[in-house]
Structure 1
C-alpha cells in the first residue's frame, strides 16, 4: 500500500522569538507518516517511540497545553462555542453535579462551571493548569489520566482537544468507566479531519496529533470503548467535532466482536494526497520560477507538511493573525510569522491560503485590501482541481 512519509517534519510544540530559542530540549524535526486503524476506520500517525517520548516531555514542561487560556484570543470563539454545546448537555441532563475535565489547560471551562455551582475537578500533566486552577479556585491534579489520585465517580467527564493526542484512544476512554456513574456521560471535543481526508490534504499532519477523527471514526471509537453514542456533531465555529457518549449500566463487550472496517477510505486518502502533493509542487514551482514573484503562506502551521515533503527552500513568508504568534518562529523553520499589517506594509505577489476552515474569511480580507494585486490560491482550490 502506498503511503505519505515525511522524512523531517518540523516538530511543532511552541513558537518563540529567534532570540528565545533554546536548543536541546527536543529535536526540531522528526519523521512522520500516516497509518490506519482498521478496527476504528481511523487515520492515525504511525507511532514512533522517539516522537512519543518527545511529546511526553513537552507536555510535562507545560507546552502544547491547549488554546483555552485567558491570554489566548482563540479561547473566546472556540471556548464560547464549546461551552454552548456543553450547556445543552447540562440542560438535558439535570442530574449532573460532579464533573471531571481531563487536560484542563487554563481552567476556563471549569471555572465557569464552578461559578454555576457544579462540583468540578481538573487533571492535567502540565504544571500550568494547576497554577491557573489556583488562581480561579479550581482543584487540579498534576498528572496524566488515568490516575490513582482521582477519588470517587463523576456524572460527566469531558475533554477539549485531548483524544487526538492519545496513543490508544479506546483504552483511554475505557478508563473513563471506572470514574463514571451508571449512565454517566463523556463529552469529547476533537479537530475535524473529515474534509482533509476526503480531499487528500496532508496539512493536518503534526506530531502532537496521533489521531485524525472524522464523524464516523469518532463514533466508532466511542462504540469500541463500549459507550452508547448519543450524538456526534460538527462545531458551530471552527473545525471541530463534538461527541457525547453514555456509560452503559452493563458493559456489552462490543469491542470483543468489533468488525474490521475496509481500507478503501484510507487508500483513497493516500492516493489523493500523492496527487495533492504533486499539485502543490507544480504550483509553487510555477510561482517561484519568476524571480519577480514573492510567495506567502497564510496560516503557516498547515503549510509545514507540504514545505517538508517538497523540501521547499526559502525565501517565502508566513502570515497569521494569531496575536501571540507575531514575529515568532517554528522550530526548524527560520521564518518569522507576520500579520496582516506586515502584509499591508510589504505585500507579496502570491499567497496560498492553507486553512480549509477559514479560507473564505482570509480571502475576503485580502481581496478587500489588495484587490487583484495579490494572486490568491487556496488549499481547497488546489484540492478540488486535483480531484476533478
Structure 2
C-alpha cells in the first residue's frame, strides 16, 4: 500500500529511525517511533519534539492585492495583518460551514498560506475559482515542513540561529538555518512553545538530523501529535470541524476578527457571512463544541454517542483519547446547546456501557505559547 502513497522528503529518515508508518491524508506517515506514543507525548511536554508535517500544503499568494482578495473567503482581518505576523483563519461555505482551517503569514511581497493535507487539492481549487486573475497562486512543491515543539524548542533552535529567540507567538520571519533560507513561525499544534519551519526539501534531512542530534529532541509521530493537540483544545479538521459546522457552533468566535463582525470596519463580505453574523448576534445554534473529561481510565473515542441522565441521546464525540499529561480521558464533542454547561454530567456509550463524563473548559492542559 505504501507504494501507492505519497511520501515526504523525510520518508527515508523515518524508516531509518524505525518509525511505524501508516496511511494518512494520502501520505505514508510516521504514527510513532521506538519511544511509543505516551513517552513521545510526555517528552514533547517536557523537552522538545520534532514533527514532520511536510504533508501539509504550502502556498504563496502574490500579485494584485492578495490580502483583500483572501478576505472574501475567510472571516479574518488579513488586510491589516502586519508584516512578519501569522494568523489563524478558516474557509467558509455558503451554509456558514467550515471547509478547512489554515494559517496565513504576511511576508510583505506575498502571503504564505499553509493548509491541511487532506484538503489541499480542494483548497487550491477554491482559491483558483474565487481569487481575481491578478492574484497568482503558487503551490510550493520544493519545501518540507518541520515543527519543533516543547519548552526546550527555543533554546534548541536558537543554537542554530539566535534570531529565533527574539520571536514571540505568531511572529514569522525568513531565517538562515543550516545555510539555507527557512520560513520560521513561532507557532504550532501542541499547545507548547515552539516553531514551524518551512525548509528547502534538499536540506530537510540535514536540518532534521542536526536537530535530532540535540539531546533534548526526539521524533514525535502522528499518535502523540493528536493527543497533544487534543489536550490543548485544538480542533482537527474533518473531525471537530467540517463543512456542516459553523464557527459559532465550533466555539471559534475568537477566530473571527472584530473588523469582520457586524459592527466592524469591514463587516461581513466573506462566503456565508450573513448566516454566521446572524448566529453571533442571536446566539441561536442547536449544538456547541465542548470539552469532556472522564472519571475512569477508559478512553472515549470519536463516534461515541452521548446521553443525558434520562438516557436521551444529546450529542457525539468528535475526538477522544487518554490524555497522558491530564492523566484522564479527554474528548471533544458536539452536544445540544442546553447541555454545553461547564460542570454538567454527560454519559458516553462505550462498548455498551454508559461512562460518566464532565463538561470541562478547554484547554484541558494550559497552553504555553511564548508571548514575551
- Normalising by structure 1, we get a TM-score of 0.30
Q: TM-score, normalised by structure 2?
A: 0.31
Greater fraction strand = 2
Structure with the bigger percentage of helix? 1
